[in-house]
Chain A
Amino acid sequence: MKRTQSIVGVVAAVLLVALTGCGTDSAAPTSSSANAPAGGTLTVYAAASLKQTFTDIGEQFKTDNPGWQVEFTFAGSSDLVTQLTQGAKADVFASADTKNMDKAAKAGLLSGDPVNFASNTLTIVVAPGNPKQVTSFADLNKPGLNVVVCAPQVPCGSATEKVEQATKVTLNPVSEESSVTDVLNKVTTGQADAGLVYVTDAMGAGAKVAKVDFPEAAAAVNTYPIGVLKTAADAAVAKKFVDLVTGEAGQKILSQAGFAKP
């Protein structure tokens, strides 16, 4: 009987370690105490397209606020909102569109109003050197051209739909991907001849793609809002991060990556 009990204990302990171990990953630790003057970890949930710029801004934040660490979770904006409504703890949320920020506001996750800090437009990406000679949005309907776009359910796809309406050109894509990185990937690997992605994605891909800008992209401007969350352990420090993003230093990093002003 004693052996039975000890084994029960071991099983319970293993399960407990497994469960808590997994838990710390999603619910990242925040600052130890609001009274402590400096030190802690700021948890930022940000849209996947902000990975490069926010990582740089995070470095700047650490320099400005000694003792503070910044921990990022980058994912699709709708995934992040789902995680936050399901109880994930974070201090700051930056979305790739106003729709998902509205969702967060509606769920009562925000403390105060969100601020728009950047915007992004669509561009055409093709293989380096533009071998298929795509020069306009209408060219995407050239026969024999493999075009890949985002599905209408995701932000880049709804932007694509808006451009189609503005140009009265209906595309016939070979694939509707569920994320903008999947679209970019299909072009960089040569699977597709052309794809519609954000300017920042095209610039991030460097020499692996060529960018073909088109004026009708102005019909679908994606605005990026950022806000402090109610679960923030130290709202003042969270606000500092938001200020850094909207301030001069943050805006410089963002514009270098191809983001436009909101």
Chain B
Amino acid sequence: MTRSAGLPRWLYLPATVGAIFVVLPLVAVAVKVDWSQFWSLISSQSSVTALELSLRTAAISTVLCIALGVPMALVLARNDSRWVRWTRPLILLPLVLPPVVGGIALLYAFGRLGLLGRYLDAGGIQIAFTTSAVVLAQTFVSLPFLVIAIEGAARTAGADYDVVAATLGARPTTVWWRVSLPLLAPGLASGAVLAFARSLGEFGATLTFAGSREGVTRTLPLEIYLQRESDADAAVALSLLLVVVAAVVVIGVGSRALKPGGSGGW
């Protein structure tokens, strides 16, 4: 694995250019940070509140994604009916949808005058301008990431073990808990990390759908966007904080899961 046999040498040039292209802006942020002020900039009350809210909502969204996404992925991977095949691109659509469009769509679905929202509103349930709206927006954009990761893992694992377990007399629910799910664990880990990271960075849908209020709906990306208006230094410092948090999640928790093979090759 150390020497990539058979790889033409010229391939390293565009690969290096690509790597620099991705890393350079991050380096630029780190260079731009006013390090003498860094701690006071990121430890201001509004920043800490925003970070807390971001971590909390991203965690809840990830749990929701797992609860809904794993069954979705399994159905997509194992059921070949025409109905399921037609639904698949629709479910994965948020993957390519600009977040603002997602926010507008959510607004007309769950907003006060929305398709479903008007009934919720009549029943006394208000989603707009609450933390639930943030979680909803994050789950909406993150769910396809988790589904696609686990679906890949499920297709790679195949259904052979499940079939064997079933022929040995295990009931479908037992097979699900004892055979299918453990086989999907690596894909699940990488999918969850992706969903968490995507939720943490969610901006457009939250801004359009949830609003922006300290401690309730103003997550870290929204705080950065707002700080940029008045205090560019604070915005840069907070940007770096978000990069670090995301890096800790992806490298720390996810590096094993995100290794090729671990992700189930999607």
Contacts and interface: CB of A to CB of B under 8 A. Distances in A.
B230 interface: yes
Chain B: interface secondary structure? helix
A185 B212 CA distance: 13
Q: Which of A176, A182, A191 has the most CB of B within 10 A?
A: A191
Interface in A163-177: 173-177
B226 A191 contact: no
Contact of A76 (B10, B107, B214, B229): B229
A189 interface: yes
B101 to A, nearest CB: 14
Contacts of B230: 78, 153
Given A4-B10, A151-B226, A153-B227, A191 B107 contact: yes
A182 B207 contact: yes
B78 interface: no
A146 interface: yes
Given A4-B10, A7-B13, A148-B211, A174 B129 contact: yes
Nearest to B230: A153
A69 interface: no
Contact of B226 (A153, A174, A190): A153
B99 interface: no
24 contacts: A3-B10, A7-B10, A8-B10, A8-B13, A78-B228, A78-B230, A151-B212, A151-B226, A153-B230, A173-B213, A174-B128, A174-B211, A175-B211, A177-B211, A178-B212, A178-B225, A178-B226, A182-B207, A189-B113, A190-B112, A190-B113, A191-B111, A191-B112, A191-B128
A8 B128 CA distance: 53
A154 interface: yes
Interface in A63-122: 76, 78, 82
A174 B213 contact: yes
B142 interface: no
Contacts of B10: 3-4, 7-8
Contacts of A146: 128-129
B107 A177 contact: no
B134 to A, nearest CB: 12
A186 interface: yes
Contact of A176 (B111, B112, B212, B227): B212
Contacts of B227: 153
A186 B211 contact: yes
Nearest to A155: B229
Contacts, number: 70
Interface in A21-72: none
Contacts of B129: 146, 174-175, 191-192
Contacts of A205: none
Nearest to A175: B211
Nearest to B10: A4
B9 interface: yes
Nearest to A7: B10
Contacts of B9: 4
A154 B229 CA distance: 6
B63 to A, nearest CB: 25
Given A148-B211, A153-B229, A175 B13 contact: no
B89 interface: no
B213 A176 contact: yes
A144 B214 CA distance: 19
Given A176-B213, A177-B211, 11 more contacts: A11-B13, A11-B17, A15-B17, A78-B228, A153-B227, A173-B213, A174-B129, A178-B226, A189-B113, A191-B113, A192-B128
Contacts of A186: 211
Nearest to B214: A176
Nearest to A177: B212
A175 B14 contact: no
B111 to A, nearest CB: 5
Contacts of A4: 9-10
A104 B244 CA distance: 33
B212 A175 contact: yes
A168 to B, nearest CB: 22
A103 B176 CA distance: 63
A190 B111 contact: yes
Interface in A198-225: none
Contacts of A76: 229
Give the 3 A-B CB pairs with smallest separation, nearest first.
A175-B211, A190-B113, A174-B129
Nearest to A76: B229
B125 interface: no
